[in-house]
A and B are shown apart, each in its own frame.
Chain A
C-alpha cells in the first residue's frame, strides 16, 4: 500500500512536470504546477506516515500549503494583472519539447542508477522521477519565453530538489525546509516584481526583449 501510494504520488509529480511542456495556456501551466505541489505534499506525507514521524507529516502539509496554495495563488494574480495568456512561440516547438522530455527521462534514469544502488528502497528508486523533473524544469527555463513560464520552470527545479531530498534521506530538518521555502517565496516575489516592471517597461514579458537592455 505504501509503495503503491508512493509510486502514484511520484507518477503524478512526474506527469504534472512534463505536462508543463505540453500546455500553452499559462493558466493551465499554473494549474499543473499546483497539481505538482500537491503531489509533492502527498509524497512527503506518505513518507512521513511510513516512517511514523509527525514532523515529516507537518512538513508535508506545509509544503502543500506553500506549493499548491500560496505560490499558484501569487502566480494567478500576476497572470490576472498581465496581458499574455498563452505561451505562443516557445523556442523549441511543443512536439519536439515532448520528445526531448522523453529523452531527458531516460537520461535521468541512467545517471541516477548509481545513486539508487547505494541504498535500494522504494523511495530511492523514485529518485529518477525527481531528476527528470529537474531536467524538464531546466529545459522550460531554456526554451520558454514568457516570464511566468520561467518562474514555473524555476519552481519545477525547486520542487525536484525538494523531492530528491525527501526521497534520498529520511527527511530534511524542519528548519532547513522552512529556510528553503522562504527563499523560494522570496525569489517568486522578486520575479513577480520584475515581471510587473518588465510589463510596465516593455508591455510584455517576452524574455528575448531583455536583450534590449544589453544594447
Chain B
C-alpha cells in the first residue's frame, strides 16, 4: 500500500516533468501544476499510510550501479513525506496561476524537486540518501536560479546557495561514509546494528550534524537561507522553506537518535544550543528586516532552531534516562515541523501573491493591501497569527508542548539539564515574543493602513488558482491549530520509531500529557474566545448607541490631512527593537551631508542610510572568503599560461604519486 502510493507519487512527478517539457506553452502551467499537486496528494497518502503502520521497504539493485537503491518508509519518514506532499499540493495549485510566465525548465524541474523531497525520507541506505540529497540540492538550485535573467542578485544568491549546500553535502558524505566504513555495510539496518568506537561515533555525529544543520538553515550555517529564499520564485521559496529545510531535521533525528542510537549528552546539548542560538538570531534578524521574503526566510531559521532545540532536548532526555520527557520533546519538535510547514507555505505563497500584484517585497513601500487584495490579506493574517505562536494559532500548540517538556526537567535529570532548561525556556519565550513583533510588523505595515507607494496602490487580487493554493494551506493550519490531535497518532508512531516508551500526548478535544501533569484544549480556547466575542456583541447591542458609523477625519494635530509618508514604516516600527538589541545587531548607518557650493554652512541635501547586515556573515564568512580569495590569487601564479608548465605539473604529480607508492609499498 505505502510502496505503491509512494511509487505512484514519484512516477507522477517524473511523468509531469516530462510532460511539462513537451506540452505547448498555453497549458504547461496547468499540466505541471495539476500533475505535481496529484503527486503531492499521493505523497500525503503514502506518508500517512507509512505513519499509521504500513512500514514498507524495497531493494532495487538494478537502479543504481554498485549498491542499488534501497528504499524504506517507516513512521518517522512517513511524517516528513506527508508534510512534503501537503506542501507540494498547495504550492502546485498556486503555481498554476503564479508561474505562468516561467519557462519550461522551471515547470519541468519543480516536480523533480518534489520527487527528490519525497525520496530523501524514504532512503534506506547511505548511497540512496546521498543521491536523493544531491538531486534535491541540484533541482532546488535550478529553481532558485529561475529568475536570474531579470535580476542580478539571483545569481549571487545562487552562488551562496550552491556553495553552502555542497559544503553541507560534503559534511554529510564524510560522516556517513565513515559510519558505513565502520559498520561494514551501507544499508540503514547494518548501520543500526554497528558497534562503533566512541571517537568515530562523535565524528560521525558532528559531521552529519553540520551537514544537516546547514540544510536546515541553522546559525551559523544559515547564510544561504535569507539570500536564496527572497530571490527564488515564491512557490519555490515555500517548498524550500516548508519542506526542504525539514530534511535537515529529519537527517539529524534519523542519524543521531535512530542510527547512532543516542550517544553522549553533550551531542544533544550542542544541538540544543545551536537550536537556541538560531531561534534567537533568526527571529531577531526577522524582526528588523523590512524585506518581506527575507523576513520569512529568517523566520524559517528561527522555527528550525526551535525544532532543533526540541530535538536536542529529546536526545538529552533520552540519554539521561527520562524517556517520558524525551518522547514529549520529540513529539513537540515534530509537531512544530508540521505546523511550520503549514504556516510557512501559507506565508510565502501570500508574499508571492503580493509580489505578483505589486512587484515589491519591501514592506516600507507596501501598505493598504487590505482593500485591494482582501483574500490575500485574510490568508496572510491567518498565517501571521499561526507564526506568532498565539492562540488560536497552530504554533502555539507545538511551542506549548515544547515548553512543557522543558519545564518538567528537574535537577533529578542532572545538573546540565537543570542549568540548560531554564535558559532554553527563556530563549523560547524571547523568540516567541519577537515573533509576535515580527508578524505584527509584517501584517500591520504590509497590509493595513494606506499604500505607501504607487505599486501598492495599483495592486489587484490574485487569480483563483493562487488563492485556492493558499486557502488549502490555511485550512491545514486551521485544522492543526484547533484539532492537533488529528496528527497525533502519526507523530506518536514516528516518535516510537526512534525512541522507546509510551506515547507522550493523548486526548481528543484536550491534549493530555502522559507522565507529567498538563492539559490544554486549543479548540475549547477558540470556542471560548468566540463565545466571548458573541457575548460582547450582544452586550454592545443592548447598551451601546446603534446608529451607523460616522466617517471621521483622522487626528492630524490640525495640520491638514495625513499623507502616507507620515505612516509608520517597517523600519520605524522595528527601530525600538533595533535599539534594544543594538549590541547584537550592530546596525550600520551613515549620514551624508552635501553643503551648498558657496557656503559650507548651508546644507543642500542630507542623505541618511541605515542597514542591518547579517553580522555572522560579516564576522565569520568574510574573513574566510578573504583568505580563500588570497589563496586563490597566490595560486594564480602557478597558472602563467605556458602549456609546458601545465604539462610539467601533471608530470610532476604523476611521478610524485608513483614515488610515494613505491616508498610505501
Contact = CB atoms under 8 A, between A and B. Distances in A.
B211 to A, nearest CB: 30
B583 A106 contact: no
B416 A106 contact: no
Contacts of A107: 419
Nearest to B423: A106
Contacts of A113: 415
Q: Which of B416, B418, B419, B580 gathers most chain A CB within 10 Å?
A: B419
A176 interface: no
B422 interface: yes
Contact of B415 (A93, A95, A103, A109): A109
A110 B422 contact: no
B415 A110 contact: yes
Interface in B552-606: 580, 583
A93 B580 CA distance: 11
Interface in B404-461: 415-416, 418-419, 422-423
A109 B583 contact: no
A96 interface: yes
Nearest to A96: B583
A107 B583 CA distance: 23
Contacts of B580: 95
B584 to A, nearest CB: 10
Contact of B419 (A93, A95, A96, A106): A106
Interface string A78-113: 000000000000000101100000010011011001
Interface residues of B, number: 8
Contacts of A103: 423
Contacts of B423: 103, 106
Contacts of A93: 583
A103 B580 CA distance: 19
Contacts of A110: 415-416, 418-419
A interface, size bucket: under 10
A109 B419 CA distance: 8
Contacts of B415: 109-110, 113
Nearest to B584: A96
Interface string A108-126: 0110010000000000000
Contacts of B419: 106-107, 109-110
A97 to B, nearest CB: 12
A91 to B, nearest CB: 12
B454 to A, nearest CB: 42
B265 to A, nearest CB: 13
B416 to A, nearest CB: 7
Contacts of B422: 106
Nearest to B580: A95
A72 to B, nearest CB: 33
A189 B297 CA distance: 59
A76 B148 CA distance: 70
B419 to A, nearest CB: 5
A107 B416 CA distance: 10
A108 to B, nearest CB: 10
B578 to A, nearest CB: 15
A142 to B, nearest CB: 17
A24 B416 CA distance: 34
Nearest to B420: A106
Contacts of B416: 110
A113 B419 CA distance: 11
A96 B583 CA distance: 9
A96 B584 CA distance: 11
Interface string B477-504: 0000000000000000000000000000
Nearest to A114: B415
Nearest to A111: B415
A165 B580 CA distance: 40
Contacts of B583: 93, 96
A110 B583 CA distance: 28
A101 to B, nearest CB: 13
16 contacts: A93-B583, A95-B580, A96-B583, A103-B423, A106-B419, A106-B422, A106-B423, A107-B419, A109-B415, A109-B418, A109-B419, A110-B415, A110-B416, A110-B418, A110-B419, A113-B415
- 5 interchain residue pairs of minimum CB distance: A106-B419, A110-B419, A113-B415, A110-B415, A109-B419
Interface of A: 93, 95-96, 103, 106-107, 109-110, 113
Given A95-B580, A106-B423, A109-B419, 13 more contacts: A93-B583, A96-B583, A103-B423, A106-B419, A106-B422, A107-B419, A109-B415, A109-B418, A110-B415, A110-B416, A110-B418, A110-B419, A113-B415
